[in-house]
Amino acid sequence: MPWDDLKYIFGAIMYGGHIVDDWDRVFCMSFLDNLMNEQLFEEANMFPFCEGKNYAFKCPPSLAYDKYKEYITEEMPAESPLAFGMHPNAEIDFRTTLCNNLFKTLVELQPKDASVGEGAGDTI
């Protein structure tokens, strides 16, 4: 398998063109070095930060196309901050921020007509 070529295609051409910071480029290439190697075919753990935390995503073995679809829908683990090397509380903060933004948007969408409310004339 031409790993260096694949890493160049993914890390420099397809995704790397969107990276503008040198440290992000180093991180991207390090991440690809960690993932794209011969262990990938040996059901390697695709979440490298989760050793010893009872949370794993193993690379599936060689399967037929329909079995891959079944594997994706039934056996893939849910996303978790642990998969990205983050503390589990990061999800709590994310969901709190998401809810705050949702409610802020709902308040902004409410009508702001000054004639509505008490003291407004009836329209019959």
Name the token pair of 18.
């969107």
The tens digit of pLDDT for each residue in 54-98 reads 666 777 777 888 988 888 888 777 777 777 777 878 888 889 999
Q: Tell me the C-alpha distance between 115 and 105, whole Å.
A: 22
Beta bridge partners of 45: 58
Which pTM value belongs to this model? 0.39
Give the HSE-up count for residue 86: Cα atoms under 13 Å, Cβ half-sphere. 12
Q: Tell me the C-alpha distance between 84 and 61, whole Å.
A: 23
